[in-house]
Chain A
Amino acid sequence: MNLSEFFQGPHFGRVLLFRLNSKLIALPLLDLKEVLEDLTVTIVPGAHPLIEGIFQLRGKILPLIHLHQILQSGALTATQQSRVLVIQYEQEVCAFRIDQILGIEALEEENFPDYSDSGRFEFKGESGQLVDAGQVYALIQEQMNMQD
């Protein structure tokens, strides 16, 4: 995402930090809609392999996508710390599983050594990637079209 936009309002650099396998990911807090402990997924016949299935959240049917496949982070291991993040991009809502939530942080400009739109950042000596909901949507749509 555009970093200068990310640091100006309404984001102000605030993110949810989490782990996908060994990858450290930061999601702008405003793109996060909800965190779920667990859910029951329904298989959808004919759905794209990047879609694990559907689930319902307060009456709405939402897709659960394989973010770890989209970001190629390697498979997830279900543990007590596993969570499902529900994200929103414009009117679109979807969810994905993650391994562990690390917390809410405010990233500073110095966290981004190359300050590029790749979103690579350093946090407490570890390298991570900033991904916003729009990017998740763009990536999944690109990969779905590619494999079609």
Chain B
Amino acid sequence: MTMRERERELIFRLEGLDVQDLLLDVVLFTSFYKEIQAYLEEVRKENHQGFFIAREIYNLLEELAFAEDVQAEGPRQLQLKIDALLAFLNGVLQTSPSEFSSTEPSIAASLGDAEFRELVPVPGLLQDLQPFLLEFSSMSEYLQELDSSLSKGNLSRNQLQELYRGVHSLKGTSSFFEVLQDTIPPFCHELETFLANLLERGELANLEESQALSRSLRFLQAMFQNLQAALKGDRRRVELNLEQSLEQLRRLNAGSAFEVEKIMSSTRIVGGGQTAVRIPADQMDDLADRLQKILLSISRVYREQDLSRLLFREIELIEKRIRGVQDRILDLRLFSVAGLFERCERQVHELSSRLNKKVTLSFQGSDTRVDKQISDGVFLPLVHLINNAIDHGIEEEREREKVGKTIAGKLIIRAYYRSNRVVFEVEDDGRGLNESEIVRKAAEVGINVDFGSIPREHQLLRLITQPGFSTKSTLSQTSGRGVGMDVVSNQIRQLGGTLGMETREDEGTLFRIQLPLSFFTSECLVIEGARGKLCLLLSNVYSVLRVSQLEPSQNQQLQQGHLVHEGEDLKVASINNSVFQSDGGTEDTLLLLKDTYSNSFGLLVEKCSSKETLLIQPMGNSLLNQLTLTRSAGILSDGSLSCVLDIDELASLVDKSAEAQA
């Protein structure tokens, strides 16, 4: 018997099955039990989702066979699972192979083997949700029923109990699916707690509880509808407000432990106020990706020679509009830093009153919008810097008076954009870093300080961010609550950012955190070397020169790894030697670049191929964490992926390789 024939037979069998009969008739029960067992054995060898449903039926049958007293719950569950399996089997048989492989690339599609085509692809893909949804489609109807009972005010204990079990089972099953993990299980968990409390008390205490229950029922229904729509490829969604529903349940459940952190980290709140919708970050990425693909198609159309003027104009317009949509989507991912600043403000008040120091706090750029990851990640480093500023930077009142400063110390926290980065600054008007003290301390631990070529502040920062370089003995005369700067520096590095500092004795200190924006569009210059194309942000390029048009003396300088250009001596390195570490063709083009500290340097490349507007995204993968020279990439108009060079890392690489050459 082929798989298909067996499935047809099973469908026939399931359709004619009455669960009540099954439980009363031992012979019927045993034969069905064996049949499911045989089916399980069969599908075990296949990559088959029906297996999971069949296994649950099998487990239920076993439970029922040994149960001393069959509760109403058991048969109902069994009926649900049988319906689900039936629906699933029908779904499998009705789906043509081409339909299966067209929506998402699957094992079936890529193995190219007809035998695999009727199989459901690996977990994680959308199609896998189908059996899950089918299983719970009856629950959706049931929810409606409950909701109307609730509004009529005659919800029975049995109904509540049933809902409680349903929610529990939904929680378990949905946590199996990665795509649902962040929404359904946490919600179900909270609802479950709520229902358990309710069952224990035996009544709805007040109007709010009944509203919360009603809202939760509708929320679950809407969630099912959205999932179903998503599976059909329908992009329309019923608006869900997970946060609000959760909030209410959580309040009512006060005292029960619930982790909301997980949801916070993987979904982003879109919009604000009452009508906020939570959208998983994945869906946003997907949307951005689709738009990018449309733009790529458009750029291919542009290359067509005989495009009529009218068509060209229309396409130009379409491109402009799509870019508009793309920008809006990128915008949706972002939060204003106002919330972050508020948290910082509380920190400042708390610390200044504890240390008995007057601090005038001001914020600049509260409307700067950053990714949730950034605003979450930068909070602790900011708090450390704020603590240091108040504790160590800002002087005691008497000391401030003596040097003619205002009694209240000034603390400014800023956020702004700088090319592809978002910058946070913490500035105080305190005593500044005590350079001689730091140098003395460095010597004590055996670090030789040479203020030669490296700017003094870089050197100082490098010293104070050394692990074990205690802030207590260098920055503070008061009790050292300040957290080691090495921790701050590490946290920022983990976010892919850099820490900078400016300090003047008796005038104050400014710490600057620069972090990469998660997704951004930027104009890039595409450059080529022996091993492919790379991108540089156009804002970092200030001049492009032809090597063949340089003077002989300058050519000679290039050989020695530098170039005197407009009176400035710049270090120069070659893309093939330093970046690709390979031999290559002639490097005929010299780029003059500026890093974020406005230091100029040169890079020899084989070619500058184009200027493009790219959607740049971070690589964000643990295996690529150790990369420094490039941390993000974008898709070029020819469809290829290209790495974007980090200008500051490139600067230090050029520095090193030019020195080696000299």
Contact = CB atoms under 8 A, between A and B. Distances in A.
Interface in B631-657: 633, 635, 639-643, 645
19 contacts: A10-B52, A29-B47, A29-B122, A33-B122, A40-B640, A42-B642, A45-B534, A46-B628, A54-B633, A59-B289, A61-B617, A63-B619, A63-B623, A92-B622, A94-B621, A104-B46, A104-B47, A105-B45, A141-B623
Contacts of A61: 617-621, 633, 641
Contacts of B620: 61
Contact of B122 (A32, A36, A43, A56): A32
Contacts of B628: 46
Interface in A87-124: 88, 92-94, 101, 103-106
A19 to B, nearest CB: 14
A54 B619 contact: yes
Contacts of B47: 14, 29, 104
B286 interface: yes
A62 B619 CA distance: 7
A37 B110 contact: yes
Contacts of A144: 623, 626
Interface residues of B, number: 51
A43 B531 contact: yes
A48 B625 CA distance: 11
Interface string B602-632: 0000000000000001111111101111100
Given A40-B640, A47-B624, A104-B116, A59 B122 contact: no
Contacts of B105: 34-36
Interface string B22-46: 0000000000000000000000111
A108 to B, nearest CB: 10
Interface string A1-23: 00000000110101010000000
Contacts of A48: 626
- Nearest 9 Cβ contacts at the A-B interface: A59-B289, A35-B110, A46-B629, A42-B641, A106-B45, A63-B623, A43-B531, A45-B579, A43-B532
A32 B105 CA distance: 13
A40 to B, nearest CB: 6
A104 B617 CA distance: 35
Interface in B272-286: 285-286
B624 A63 contact: yes
B285 A60 contact: yes
A88 B124 contact: yes
A83 interface: yes
B629 A45 contact: yes
B624 A44 contact: yes
B288 A59 contact: yes
A56 B641 contact: yes
B509 interface: no
B107 A32 contact: yes
Contact of A44 (B116, B630, B640): B630
A65 B623 contact: yes
A131 interface: no
Interface of A: 9-10, 12, 14, 16, 29-30, 32-37, 40, 42-48, 51, 54-56, 58-63, 65, 83, 88, 92-94, 101, 103-106, 140-141, 144, 148
A47 B110 CA distance: 29
Most buried by A among B52, B619, B645: B619
B292 interface: yes
Interface in B554-587: 579-581
A110 to B, nearest CB: 15
Contacts of B375: none
B123 interface: yes
Contacts of B534: 45
Interface of B: 44-47, 51-52, 55, 105-107, 110-111, 113, 116, 119, 122-124, 176, 285-286, 288-289, 292, 531-532, 534, 579-581, 617-624, 626-630, 633, 635, 639-643, 645
Contact of A42 (B44, B122, B640): B640
Chain A contact surface mostly: strand
Contacts of B635: 56
User: Among the interface residues A9, A10, A59, A106, which one has the most CB atoms of the partner chain B within 10 A?
Assistant: A59
B631 to A, nearest CB: 10
Contacts of B46: 104
A47 B625 CA distance: 10
B580 A59 contact: no
Nearest to B532: A43
Given A45-B579, A56-B641, A140 B623 contact: yes
**In the complex, which of the residues A44, A47, A65, A140 has the most CB atoms of chain B within 10 Å of its own CB atom?**
A44
A48 B624 CA distance: 9
A33 B124 contact: yes
A139 B586 CA distance: 39
A62 to B, nearest CB: 7
Nearest to A62: B621
Given A33-B124, A45-B630, A104-B46, 18 more contacts: A12-B44, A14-B45, A34-B105, A35-B111, A40-B639, A40-B640, A42-B633, A44-B630, A47-B627, A58-B286, A59-B292, A61-B621, A63-B623, A63-B624, A88-B124, A103-B113, A105-B45, A148-B626
A65 B623 CA distance: 9
Contacts of B122: 29-30, 32-34
Contacts of A55: 641
A29 B45 CA distance: 11
B93 to A, nearest CB: 20
Contacts of B176: 10
B289 A58 contact: yes
Given A34-B105, A45-B580, A94 B286 contact: no
Contacts of B639: 40
Contact of B285 (A16, A37, A59, A63): A59
A134 B569 CA distance: 51
Nearest to A63: B623
A65 B624 CA distance: 11
Contacts of B640: 40, 42
A88 B623 CA distance: 13
B44 A59 contact: no
Contacts of B111: 35, 101, 103
A51 B110 contact: no
A5 B624 CA distance: 30
Nearest to A44: B643
Nearest to A36: B110
A44 B623 contact: no
Contacts of B629: 45-46
Contacts of A47: 624, 627
Contacts of A54: 619, 624, 633, 641, 643
A92 B119 CA distance: 25
Nearest to A55: B641
Nearest to B284: A59
A88 B179 CA distance: 14
A111 to B, nearest CB: 13
A23 to B, nearest CB: 20
A59 B286 contact: yes
A28 to B, nearest CB: 11
B518 to A, nearest CB: 12
B630 A93 contact: no
Contacts of B531: 43, 45
